[in-house]
Structure 1
Amino acid sequence: MSAKNKEEPRVLAIILGGGKGTRLYPLTKERSKPAVPFGGKYRIVDIPISNCINSGYKKIYLLTQFNSASLHLHINNSYNFDRFSGGFVEILAAEQTLEHSGWYEGTADAVRKNFGHFRVQKPTHYIILSGDQLYKMDLKEFMNEHIESGAEITIAAKAVNRRDATGFGIMQVDDTNRITAFMEKPAADLNIDHWKIPEKSRGDLPADLEYLASMGIYIFNAETMEKLLDNEKTDFGKEIIPMAIKDHQVNSYIFNDYWEDIGTIRSFYEATLDLTNPVPAFNLYEETKPVYTQMSNLPPSKINNATLTSTLASEGCVITDSSIKKSVIGVRSIIREDCDLKGVVMMGADFYETEEEKAANKKKKIPDMGIGKGCKIEKAIIDKNAHIGNNCCINVSGKKYDDGDHGLFYSAEGIIVIRKGAVIPDGTVI
């Protein structure tokens, strides 16, 4: 083995599954954020996992603690590396041990409580990733720049304008991209002109993007990580990173490409519908950077005299005599005659109903799974396994709803969310 090969870093990727996901409720009522369906056939967690695999990093841990059952099922059914690769994707849910007994109390605390698992792999470097962001990044390039810079920590950063800077942790850097200060969500009226990106580091960034925002994506030297977490501090962004800047070399890595935090219903909805554009910001059709997910072995979708415009239709769908515009239709979706859908994110179904199940539901006056005949639906998210009856109208009446729970549905900034497994009777108007 050459000296070069011996020097290859041993990289461990850690994906943070997040907390309760309250901003994505009700999509997170029965599942964790990483397990939320996305793009018709994927789950959000497939994005960071695919970034790791495409970059050659196949030792991946996913840290989660809320509603992890469906996530476990998805991971186990999707990511099985051959025994010679040494790769794995393993979920580490919060657990009681002799050393600790509580939940993860923050991002740093989650990592600290799992050092016993991580040390077995003898990593030289950790990559810390978020489980609810939409982007494609060459993590190998990120790692190479980290090593060449001599930094102990490197933080992926996105250039933002002054207005958006209020929603992020903002970093002050010098001409060498070394971070000299960190500020969490600066107030809109605070003068932070001296925090602007140095001209030497700007490259071809747009002129209005003057500040560097942390993406919550980090590379740590393993030894540095151990030292920095030898305490009771719980959060990387609020505590560990500001502390590290004082005594360690912490650099920024400017990522000048599409990146979206899909942590709210609106951002999730808009990011999903953007996939229907002729040239989407997040491209699912790059052959060298595929997004991996579970192999479903479903049949091709059957389109019976329907019109689909700017729409993604996943495998196993049956769509009959309907008009669908700018929508994303998930696996096994059944859309019956004379429906009109505009701006709909339909997550599909986990299974096909049998004739026996349909007959039993009919006795209970429960419509068949999918969308019934003659329905008009706009600006809506329909979660999995929903039963929507005939002649229903959803979000087309012009009626406005306060954000929150409304029984049969949930409203968020004008977007109607039909819950997982919901039953919407014939003729319902929302």
Structure 2
Amino acid sequence: MSSKTLTFVFAAERGTPALLTEHRCKAAVPVAGKYRVIDFTLANCLHSGLRQVLVLSQYKSHSLHKHLRDGWSLFNAELGEFITAVPPQMRYDSGWYRNAMDALRQNRYLIERSPADTVLLLDGGLVYRMDYAELIEFHREQGGGVTCALRQAGPGSAAGGVKVEVDGADRITAIGNAIDVDAPYESTMGVVLIDKALLLEQVEALSAATEAGMDSGVDLATQLVSPMLDGRATCSNPPTAYRFGGERGRVTQDRYWSDLGSTDAYFRANMDLLKAEPPLNLYQADWNILTYQGQYPPARTVPGPTSGNEGIFVNSMLAAGTVIRGGGVSHSVLYPRVQVEDGAIVDEAILFEGVRIGANARVRRCICDKDVVIPAGACIGEDRRADAERFEVSDEGIVVILKGQSI
């Protein structure tokens, strides 16, 4: 299957939440205590037997490229396997990627020279687990053409994607924006499989017809399917729907999907992982999520040097290299090398790598980007008006302290 399917992962957009993409693209945003967002898509590829993966990059891509080098240099080039970053090559003109379809057009030569007969198109800025091998098998059973993975959306479900209508034979009959929908519906989820010959036949026209803007990876289905439904493009088979979270596939069916579409959505997604039964299963033994991890010492708690109180943590995630020195951490997600000093209180917070919380500081409902230092005695997250004068505060009151921000 590996050689028959070429995979493109779209990671060129800035995306959201905007405050966390000041220094990195969305695909490189840290999530779940140790991972980057793109790790979930790449892990799906790995477990699905896909070994030819091209990552389309553009916006502030250094962090992403470094992560791919350090964490995903695991395929064997001698066997034709690769995970390769592909920024704009400007083979046809001097422009950057205008949109997802233009990114494919600019890399047409990579598609043409591939021995694959199908192309898998994935948004690298989403968090979910999926067995793509079953999607590919379903696509072949249906006779090829275009197959779009769909998820159940509506009240209580993650935002993102567009509404899709499907008939009893799993054929897509309509696709469009979902506005004020108060009942469950089927939605796109940034996963599309298309026959290679069909993509090459349509990519020039699709690129020209699609509006500029790289924040469109999740809308791949609309860009490909709409022209086939309204007669602007031809396809021997009608576009087909594949249901995400069904019985097919080896991954446990948690049916979790998130586009982390805002600061509040990002915060909730991380906090959800602290529930007794989290909605996203990170612990399936045969579907582990790979990432790059620095060679740091184990996380630990130690007594405070002044108070002598034990460092404690309650219902929290602690990554390697983290030390709690007499402070207290509860309902929080701590990335590697975080330091919590004597008497400090951290509650409902997300602390990125290298964050330091000074002695007797109090941090609540806060996201601290990489290497932020909270001074001793500081109080953040308890007075929204005071916080708003110094920091960015989300609609739901989450304080965001940016990388390098002086406090």
Q: Do these two structures clear the TM 0.5 threshold for a shared fold by scoring above it?
A: yes
Q: Which residue of 2 aligns with 1:253?
A: 242
| 271, 276, 279: which one aligns with 1:278 | 276
Q: Distance in 2 between matches of 1:409 and 1:66?
A: 24
Q: 1:165–1:281: structure 2 CA closer, same or farther, 3 Å change rule?
A: closer
Q: Which residue of 1 aligns with 2:76?
A: 82
Structure 1 Cα separation of the partners of residues 67 and 76 of structure 2: 18
The equivalences for 1:10-409 within 5 A come to: 10-21=4-15, 23-80=16-73, 81-97=75-91, 99-161=92-154, 168-186=161-179, 209=184, 211-231=185-205, 232-234=208-210, 236-245=220-229, 246=231, 247-248=234-235, 249-256=238-245, 257-304=255-302, 305-349=310-354, 370-399=356-385, 408-409=390-391
Q: Percent identity?
A: 26
Alpha-carbon separation, structure 1, partners of 2:228 and 2:13: 24
1:43 and 1:131 mapped to 2: Cα distance? 10
Query: Whole-Å Cα distance in 2 between the matches of residues 65 and 8 of structure 1?
Result: 26
The alignment partner of 1:214 has SS state of strand
Distance 1:254 1:188, change over 3 A: closer
Secondary structure of the residue aligned to 1:423 is coil
Write the distance in 1 (CA, Å) between the matches of 2:144 and 2:186. Answer: 18
- Deviation of 1:372 after TM superposition, in Å, equals 0.6
Q: 1:188 to 1:288 in 2, by over 3 A?
A: closer
The one-letter amino acid of 1:372's match is G
| Structure 1 residue 382: Cα displacement | 0.6
Aligned equivalents of 1:234 and 1:279: distance in 2? 41
Aligned to 2:215: none
CA offsets, 1:69-117, max 9 Å, x none? 11111111111123444321111112333x1211211111111111122
Name the counterpart of 2:394: 412
TM-score normalised to structure 2 length = 0.86
Give CA-to-partner distance per residue, 1:115-134, whole Å, 9 cap, x none. 12233322211111111111
Matched length: 374
One-letter code of the match for 2:149?
Answer: A
Larger deviation, residues 166-175 vs 371-380: 166-175
Alpha carbons 2:175, 2:226 under 8 Å: kept:
yes
Larger radius of gyration: 1
> Deviations for 1:146-183, whole angstroms, at most 9, x for unmatched residues?
11111311101012237979954211111110111212
One-letter amino acid of the counterpart of residue 250, structure 1: P
Secondary structure at 2:385 match in 1: coil
Distance in structure 1 (CA, Å) of the matches to 2:2 and 2:363: 53
Q: Shift in Å at residue 142 of structure 1? A: 1.0
Contact 1:167 1:185 in 2 (8 A): no
Alignment-mate amino acid for residue 239 of structure 2:
V
CA deviations over 1:240-274 (Å, ceiling 9, x no partner): 32012343321011113111111321111111111
The residue that corresponds to 2:306 in the other structure is none
Query: Cα–Cα, structure 1 residues 336 and 312, in superposed 2: closer, same or farther, change >3 Å?
Result: same
Residue 243 of structure 1: SS of its match in structure 2?
helix
Amino acid at match of 1:216: G
Deviation string, structure 1 residues 17-66 (Cα, Å, up to 9, x no partner): 14232x31221111111111111211111110111001111211111211
- Aligned residue for 1:144, secondary structure, equals helix
Give SS of 1:27's match.
Answer: helix
Q: SS of the residue aligned with 2:136?
A: helix
Measured at CA, do residues 262 and 317 of structure 1 come closer, stay the same or move farther in structure 2, by a change above 3 Å? same
- What runs of 5+ residues in structure 1 fail to find an aligned partner? 1-6, 190-207, 350-368, 425-430
What secondary structure, in the 3-state scheme, does the structure 2 residue paired with 1:53 have?
A: helix
Deviation at 1:187, TM superposition (A): 5.2
Distance in 2 (alpha carbons) for counterparts of 1:163 and 1:145: 28
Look up the SS of the partner of 2:14 in the other structure. Answer: coil
Question: In the aligned structure 2, how far is the partner of 1:166 from the partner of 1:388?
Answer: 33
TM-score (norm 1): 0.82
Native 8 Å contact 1:233 1:240 kept in 2: no
Tell me how far apart the structure 2 counterparts of residues 327 and 73 of structure 1 sit (CA, whole Å): 27
In the alignment, the residues of structure 2 paired with residue 77 and residue 287 of structure 1 have an alpha-carbon distance, to the nearest angstrom, of 23
Q: Tell me how large the CA RMSD over aligned residues is.
A: 2.2
Cα distance in 2 for residues equivalent to 1:298 and 1:166: 36
Q: 1:155, 1:61 → 2: CA distance?
A: 19
Contact 2:159 2:259 (8 Å CA) reproduced: no
Deviation at 1:385, TM superposition (A): 0.8
CA distance in 2, matches of 1:344, 1:94: 37
Distance 1:318 1:164 in 2: 36
Counterpart amino acid of residue 411 in structure 1: V
The answer (yes or no) to whether the contact 1:166–1:188 under 8 Å persists in 2 is no
